[in-house]
Amino acid sequence: MGEMDQQTRPLSGTGTIYSFSIMYSVPQGFEEQKPYVIAIVQLDEGPMVTAQLTDINQDDVAIGQRVEMVTRKLREEGTEGQIIYGYKFRPALQDSISR
């Protein structure tokens, strides 16, 4: 295999919901969160990422909706309850303010 031309590029963390699904049957460790929404988000720069949505009622999620990346608690692990953080997406605040 040849070398791949890779470059680091900054991402804005904002994008549009391309597709989504409401999760009723969830992986171990996520039972307390069900049901929750997983979305494929097309970032403004082009790449698509999969992430959980937060700060939104599942009935209000729509394809084409503007969202922004935020850091949130994903789950707790182990007997000591170590908190694992990661990224999720929420409705874009700028879009909410401008309405």
- If we measure between CA atoms, which residue out of 35, 26, 40 comes closest to residue 89? 40
When divided into structural domains, the chain yields a total of: 1
pTM, two decimals, is: 0.79
Assigned domain for 31 exists: yes
Assigned domain for 7 exists: no
Question: Domain holding 83: CATH number?
Answer: 2.40.50
Q: What is the pLDDT of residue 4?
A: 78
Assigned domain for 86 exists: yes
**Average pLDDT of every residue of the chain:** 88
Confidence of residue 90 (pLDDT cuts 50, 70, 90): very high
Helix (H, G, I), strand (E, B) or coil at 99: coil
Residue 91 has a CB neighbour count (10 Å cut-off) of: 19
Assigned domain for 64 exists: yes
